[in-house]
Structure 1
């Protein structure tokens, strides 16, 4: 298990500050650990549910895409941008309350593509969702 890197956490905070009304903020996602080889974030179930009171599957996907995108952006560096090109998710069980935690680990970190596995668990450590995200790495447009 890697420990949080202060310089990487500073980059995460800079990314969060770019848009204070982003989906990351609206969903209540909090990045708690960030390193080049592992990212961890929590998200509340409350406020992110479907009509039956269960964690919305799309919310799990938002958490996964957030972590994979942040990890890819850290890997890409400041002169490049990343955009998601593919994401999938398998929902294993329902979460009804508390926080879920997403842990992202890289599958492949290349020059043009980055792929991550994201495992979302409930407060009892039970797997709620497994997701895989792939991001395309591009040169940042002028002025970005």
Structure 2
């Protein structure tokens, strides 16, 4: 469902070939191919690495919280590049049950709640090529 919706909601991510491979309560994983996403010196373009990690905030929010009541948005994301990405990539992140409970209660009471996510982007060999720290917000619909 999320992969189909991505073509409509985030066309650039869809064009990059980003695929959501896991979207469960408190967990999100996405992949992006190397093919078509390289830069002038043969590694995955930095913007592609950023996108595959950043969009996990929306994926995890939609998989964890009721999308009929809430929607996610990104407030800030910092990225650190730690290695050369020369293969397909996998990005993943998670939220603890305690954090899920806090965010849901705060959003229900105040109409919105901030949460942070740390994502790790790895190459096919399992080497970390970038890490992100993002500030996201869950907002109540109609408020």
Q: Does the pair score TM above 0.5?
A: yes
Note the aligned Cα RMSD (angstroms).
2.2
Please tell me whether the aligned partners of residues 36 and 74 of structure 1 are also in contact (alpha carbons under 8 angstroms).
Answer: yes
**Residue of structure 2 in register with 1:81 after alignment:** 71
* Distance 1:59-1:21 versus aligned 2 partners, 3 A rule: closer
Q: Secondary structure at the match of 1:64?
A: helix
Residue ranges of structure 2 left out of the alignment (5+ in a row): 108-112
CA–CA distance in structure 1, aligned partners of residues 10 and 135 of structure 2: 24
Q: Deviations over 1:45-92 (max 9, x none)?
A: 222222212111111110011112211233332221111001011100
Aligned pair count reads 130
After superposition, the Cα gap between the structure-2 partners of 1:49 and 1:118, relative to the gap in structure 1 and judged at 3 Å, is same
Indicate which of 17, 26, 29 corresponds to 1:37. 26
Consecutive unaligned residues of structure 1, counting only runs of 5 or more, are 1-9
SS at match of 2:95: strand
1:95 and 2:116 aligned = no
Give the TM-score taking structure 2 as reference length. 0.79
